[in-house]
Chains A and B, each alone.
Chain A
Amino acid sequence: MKTHSTARLTFGLGLRKPHYQDFLAGDGPDAVVPVDFVEVISENFMVPGGRPRDILRRARARHAVALHGVSLSLGAAQGVDLDYLRTLRQLVDEIEPFIVSDHLCWTGTAGFNSHDLLPLPYTHEALAVACANIGRAQDILGRSLVVENPSSYLQFSPADWSEWDFIAELATRTGCELLLDLNNVHVSATNHGFSVVDYLAGIPMARVRQIHLAGHSQGRELLIDTHDQPVADPVWALLAHVAPALEDVAVMIERDDAIPPLPELLAELDHARALCHLPARMEARQWA
């Protein structure tokens, strides 16, 4: 087991508009929000100029930055959008993020972008497509991509792979690293009835560079990955479960809707710190 003395864990928050003033106001060390990094949605800053780029530059002057994309469409059968990747590369070159991530999903087809993270069938063909797209993206970006497991509301039959085996194989074939979203694991496991233990056992933890923690909502029949609630207890339990295996990982709270005052998110982040620093004590917890 690794403890905090041997495992380098950092803790951060998603930087969202209601908290810009908190993160950017004032001078001196006392004015800096106590996080190790911030994560921003890449596309919000892939613009020519103006206030968005200024905000990101100022945030970068204070914090390490992770760029988290939603439009790379790694599962698109037609391939990745080169215009998108070149624009992202320009942002990467300027901001020098420590992580560049996107999702294992597809967002559109030729001439169409849904602006949603759509589910992939876990077939041999989809694996080959995703590997080729990740390879292309990594070539253009000049760095390893960090790929996030999605939340999903559909399963396709027949599938050639479980999601966790698909992701592990993807990492092996492409050299990409992984963003393990524990809320997504919980949501998908609940919706599809698979075991979170099997899932986490199948993920190569040595490839995990980032952990997302978020809240979800109960839909009429399915759990929905809404990011509008505090992190739920079953998700905290998953963090406690994986914490001993984490090394050089950035852990963060992802809140995108019904965003509370910053102190509430910092308190959640403190809870994440506590769970990661006390893995032996928390390991015994059970989740639903």
Chain B
Amino acid sequence: MGLSAFQDDFRAWLTRSDEQAADRLALADRRGLAVYQNTYRAQLMACLEESYPQTMALIGLRFGEAAFHAAAARHIDSVQPSRWTLDAYAQGFPASLRRLFPDAPAIGELADLELALGETFIAPDATALTLADLQSGALDETAIALVPGTVFLPLRTNADAIWSALSAQEPCPAPHVRGSADTPVMIWRQDFVCCFRRLEDDEAALLPSLVTGTPFAQICEDLVARLGMEDGITRAGALLARWTQAGLLTRQP
């Protein structure tokens, strides 16, 4: 048997316990096969546990402690890891949770939030602008962008409040679907700490446009256009102070 066929057969044993494939491996002794299969599954299980601690807690509260591991085992049965980074394996789990818990949308959304937090944690570094940078006038024509890793999640449920309560080891609020007009939750990283909060209405209209970079002067003009000269300037000042204090803005690279 050639090496490529050998590795295909080994994969077939590892991922679906294919006995005929195992027979073709020409093993001197089969005792060790189970060691590799156990390690394979244990690594993936550990990846999901570490990536989704609050999702695991919520599933445990609602469906019993074994329910998360049962869901993870079904995901491992159906989804094989394809990337060299183990962290990437976590990416498909929220979709599996939606299929497995169709009547509990907060579970899938809580997993979305944890996945986004994990990806933002390792996003590229950037130097955040200060309010003094903006007030200096030197940036009027400079394109302002959001720090790398900033994402917006349209959470329909109170998954964000659930995450906050569970991570603080406080009583978990009852999961529920919020109003359809809700603004998205923004996730970003300030220095090395991941943050999230639900946006206010005008932020929700403005901030996504900064993902691709917008001149500072344009941001001010947009706010004035939305709110009028006096209120717009006041609100622009308040928002820019809030965003810079949160380490949210950077120069467009």
User: Could you list which residues of chain A lie within 8 angstroms of chain B, going by C-beta atoms?
Assistant: 43, 46-54, 71, 75-78, 81, 83-84, 106-109, 111-116, 118-119, 121, 123, 125-126, 129, 152-158, 191, 219, 221-222, 224
Contacts and interface: CB of A to CB of B under 8 A. Distances in A.
Give the interface centre of B3, B26, B27 by most chain A CB atoms within 10 Å.
B3
B93 interface: no
Nearest to A121: B6
Given A77-B3, A109-B8, A50 B86 contact: no
Contacts of B84: 43, 71, 81, 83-84, 107, 113
Contacts of A71: 84-85
A75 B122 CA distance: 29
Contacts of A158: 26
Given A46-B85, A224-B35, A77 B40 contact: no
Given A123-B3, A154-B29, A155-B27, A222 B122 contact: no
Given A43-B85, A126-B3, A156 B26 contact: yes
A83 to B, nearest CB: 8
B125 A116 contact: no
B39 interface: yes
Contact of A153 (B26, B35, B89, B123): B35
Given A116-B36, A123-B3, 16 more contacts: A43-B85, A48-B125, A50-B149, A51-B121, A77-B7, A84-B84, A111-B82, A114-B11, A115-B44, A115-B47, A115-B81, A121-B6, A154-B29, A155-B29, A156-B26, A156-B27
Interface in B36-84: 36, 39-40, 43-44, 47, 80-84
A270 B7 CA distance: 41
Contact of B28 (A77, A83, A155, A219): A155
Nearest to A46: B85
Nearest to B44: A115
14 contacts: A48-B122, A50-B123, A108-B11, A112-B80, A113-B84, A118-B7, A121-B6, A125-B2, A125-B3, A153-B31, A153-B36, A156-B26, A157-B27, A222-B35
Contacts of B33: 153-154
Contacts of B15: 112
A184 to B, nearest CB: 14
Contacts of B80: 112
A47 B122 contact: yes
Contacts of A51: 121, 192
B148 interface: yes
A113 B4 contact: no
B28 A156 contact: yes
Contact of A112 (B11, B35, B44): B11
B163 interface: no
A115 B86 contact: yes
Nearest to A78: B4
Interface in B1-28: 2-4, 6-8, 10-11, 14-15, 25-28
Given A49-B123, A81-B84, A113-B82, A152 B32 contact: yes
